Structure 1
Amino acid sequence: MLDDLNELKTFCYILSVGSLSAAARELDTSVAVVSKRLKSLEQRVGVELIHRTTRALSATEEGERLRNDVERALEALAIGEARLVSGRDEVFGTLTVVAPVSFGRRHVSPVLLQLSEDHPQLKVSLGLDDSLVDLVADGVDIAIRIGQPADSTLRLRKLADNRRILVASTAYLDRYGRPTTPDALKAHAFIRHGSFTANVRLINDDGRAASGIGQTRLSVNNADAAYDWARAGQGILIKSQVDVAADLAAGTIERVLPEWHLGEAPIMALYPMGKQLPRKTRLFLDAMVAALADIRP
């Protein structure tokens, strides 16, 4: 079993540092030993794990899958050993989170930073990405989504209530007027981000629905750039209320048609099914709920 573990560790080191010679230096052994361990591992599993060229090494498809499994197993072993040594129920391992770019930068990043300071043995990896990811395949612990996800085999937890609303800068509204009905939006310029258009379906607090159609004047594929344009007075923008709460309170921007919104879009956390929620995951979820507690739709 010990030889098997050395082979697996060596295999991960080779991919991490990019060559057999560099892996040998990291492991304080010879290139011959590293090469022998890799060959023995490949013979045992019956497939090629690493592509070898004269210039570089890279994992095969089977090698990449094995690498992910081995790294998780080695981390679990390290956590168990650290617990025995410390004698405390400290938080260990790596917490991997993905979140939308704008929301993640404003709200998730500060929470993870505080967690890493409170728990020195915890490693943190944050991915900011507006696209969907495969949590299991990509080795992600938690994905943050804005809006109720479609049917999923993942576990869900609502972190905060949220609505999508219309906003614009005070300067823009002073110049072009403040619409008082959804129909009045046709006279205004919209800033488009992602799938949102200037044709919106609005809901008021009584549950009545209405359509509003504006003119798309500017479009961009980055939420922060779109918000910069809105604050610069270039038009009306659709935003999640959690992202603009601070600026609304400061008076930097205003809600357009404040009695109307574009529907509920709760802040959700998705994570893989499991019999027991890891402590690192539970701590992060609780911290996010606390951080978002003051934001009200």
Structure 2
Amino acid sequence: MRNPFRPEASRKYIDLIRDASTNWANWDPSLKLEVGGDSNYMKPGDFGVVDSKTGKFEKHDSIYTNKQTAAIAKPYRPLRGEKKEYKHVVSVNVRSSDFHINPEVDLAGIAEASVKTQWEFETSRGAVLIMHEPRTLYVPGELLQNLARSGVDCLRGKSLITEVLSCPSYAMYLSAGSKECVKIALVASVPAIPPGISAGGGVGMGWWGSRHNGIFEHAHSPIANFFPLYSMKTLKDKLRRRGASPVDASEETLTPTRVREEYERDNLTMEPNSGVAACEKPE
């Protein structure tokens, strides 16, 4: 079960992941967005604002349904990137080390684990996000260029989700600010833990975690209905008028020139996934 919601913890986790990847993180990757009584998962094209205390995205509408933008967006449906085997994002004050398990822990399931990781944390807080079989869905660059030129009122002062990463399985860890070594693995079956050996509350849903002092959240599903990461930009051109409030400097700003560059990048690869560290599955 998810730990009681703590705004300061969610904001810290989101900031650490953003600094490491340039992407925004979801504190609760399974959470649906509530708009006008409807509940839907996060999708590219959603726009809204970010709660400054929690870092949570609050959806107002979608460019695919809003009356001002639907006609512009209709020819450009979101594009799907290639599925990856494994990705992780690690904050700068955390390092990876070789995976070793205590002999007292039953290795059934862990020896054959599809993902085995070990992380060294220092006294400053750190964060790790691990995703199994992630895939991106993103807004075509040409659509962003057209929106940047359109000057529509509905996007003024709003943040636009341009890319969403989904996966069927994830694990996230936020350290408590103490020096520790934390092991995280994705197992086919939950290993048995002998009496006296603590799993730190990290066993279940296919993920195993060693003893830890921080917040460990994880989930596993047959389908990719978790959304741990997303990219968000603020369109800036005709939308900015004299006297308008400045755009949040923590968000990327798109001008027609920058959109054109991103569009060219999109045509070179089906998965523009800038900043998210990819790696091979551990031995």
- Fold similarity call, TM over 0.5: no
**Structure (1/2) with the larger strand percentage:** 2
User: Relative contact order (C-alpha < 8 Å, sep 6+): which is higher?
Assistant: 2
TM-score category of the 2 structures, normalised to the smaller one: under 0.3
TM (norm. structure 1) is 0.23
Instruction: Return the TM-score normalized by structure 2.
Output: 0.23
Larger radius of gyration: 1
